[in-house]
Structures are given as C-alpha cells and as structure tokens.
Amino acid sequence: METWVYFTLLAAFMQAVRTAGQKQLSGHLNAMATTAVRYLYALPFAIGYLVWIVDYRDIPIPELTESFVIYALIASVMQILGTACLVAAFKYRNFAVATSLSKTEAIQVAVVGAIVFSASLSLLGWLSVIIGVIGVLIVSKVRFTYADVFQNPGAGFGLASGLGLAITTLLIREASLALNTDLMVSAATALVFMIVTQSLISLIYIVVTDSKQLKTMVSQWRLCLFVGITSVLGSIGWFTGASYQNAAYVKALGQVEFFITLILTYRIFKEKISLREYLGMVLIIASVVILLLWA
C-alpha cells in the first residue's frame, strides 16, 4: 500500500480513540478547554516528532514561506471555527442530526477541493466518497426529517462545522506543499506551526473567559495527556496523508474511523450491532475498497 494509506489509517484509529478520551474529559472541562487540551498537551510531542523526523530524513527544517504561513494560519483558525460550530450545534434541538451533518466533511472536501484548488476526482473517486458518507450517516442511526434539517438552526451549524474542517484539511495540504521539501518533514513542520498557533489562541481565550479551567486542566493531567498523545498521533496521520494524496481521498478513507468506533463500542461496552449499523459498515468498507483498488 502507498504511504498515505498507512498514515490515514493511523489517523482514523487514533481519532476514534481520542474521541473516547475527550468524551470523558468533557465531564470536567467546558467545550473550549476540552478543545484546548488536544493542542496544549500535544505540543511537546509534536515538537519531538519534528526533531526526530528531521534527523531521520536527514533534511533541515524548511524556511517558512509566505504562502505557507497564510495557508497554515487560516487552517488553524478554520479548525477552531469548525469545532466551535459543532459545539454551537449542541445547543439546538436534535443535536444528533447536526453532529451527523458535520460528518459530510468528506464530500465537502471533494467539492471545495475541486472548485477552489482544482483537485478533481475520478468518477470512481466521487462514487467512493458518496458511498462512504451515506454509510457514515446510516451508522449514525439518526432519522432525518424535514423539520430537523431545514427548520433546525443546529443543522446549519453542523454543515458549517463540516465545511470548516474540510477547508482545514485542504489548506493543510496546500501549506505542506508550499514548503517544497520532503513531504514528511513539511507535514511535521505544518503540524507544529498550527498546534503552536492554536495553543496560543485557545489559551488566551480561556484566560480571558474562564481562567478556572486551567486548574482543572492540570488536575486532570492523566486524561489530558492521553488526549494529547492520541491527538498528536492522529494529527501526524492526517497531516502526512494529506501531504501525499488528494485531501478528498484521505478523508474518504478516514471514514473507517466510524467503523473502528463501532467495533470499539461493541468490544468495550458489549453493545449489539444492529442490522442498520451492519449496512452502514458494509457501505464504508465498499467505499474503501473502491478507493484503494479502482479510484
């Protein structure tokens, strides 16, 4: 298999594990503090990874270009905004619908990438993305109604969240390619730059709005550390995968995260998998097979 496949699978698995940790952490911290943990506790490990990959690949840290800084800064803000939109969606009726609509990120990456960055997909590539998104929506077990989608403001926030995260992924790729160096090194450089930026933004926000959260972030250091480590491993996967391959393909393959989450839920909580969930899993697998073998 190609390099991007391994890194994307790493990202999908780690994101599923990190999400479980963040759910536990959200019982102790507010939404922004929980988000900040994934940056602040990940930063030392991200820097360590950059130092290691530079030495391993025997390539110096690249000089930051103007285009890189612009792409990376916008990507940093868009990721925070995407997360904020998802949190905002929770305040409205039927937030499950809003959350599920945020999972249309993969198809939004494909559409925005094709329109803005001329990153077109093959016909089978589009088929893979669409089948995967349908599979994810089926696995989410949400029943969509007219009122939920068109009369629920939360649905708009859900779609906005998916769009924000889609733009983030596309800009990560553009930032990495703008450095014109070894892709693993450029991905690691983009990762550290963005985590530093996001750490500063989130830390300033917390200090200004609710500084008491900082004490809890320290007292819950074990759980925070778990979230930080799994987050940085997942980010290494996403950043490197997107540097090597069209972002739409990376996100399409990344949808196996939901397959992994379902399996983890079954193994840990012994919950039965319904016929509908099996159908969604089959569609996700079909999407991956089409992507890897024919797209």
Q: What is the pLDDT of residues 122-175, one digit of tens each?
A: 899 899 999 988 888 887 766 666 555 566 677 788 888 889 999 999 999 999
Examine the pLDDT at 57 and tell me if it is beyond 70: yes
Give kind and range of the element (H or E) at residue 81: helix 66-89
pLDDT band for 29, please (50, 70, 90 cuts): confident
Q: How much is the average pLDDT of 206-230? A: 93
Q: What is the pLDDT of residues 58-102, one digit of tens each?
A: 999 999 999 999 999 999 999 988 877 876 776 665 556 666 777
d(CA 290, CA 277): 20
Burial of 233 (0-12, 13-18, 19+ CB in 10 A): buried
CA dihedral 125, 166, 235, 271 (to 10 degrees): -80
d(CA 125, CA 127): 5
Examine the pLDDT at 276 and tell me if it is beyond 60: yes
> pTM of the prediction?
0.88
Examine the pLDDT at 110 and tell me if it is beyond 80: yes
Question: According to the model, what pLDDT value does residue 196 have?
Answer: 97
Examine the pLDDT at 240 and tell me if it is beyond 70: yes
Give the range among 14-28, 127-141, 254-268 with minimum mean pLDDT. 254-268
Calculate the average pLDDT of the chain.
86
Examine the pLDDT at 103 and tell me if it is beyond 80: no
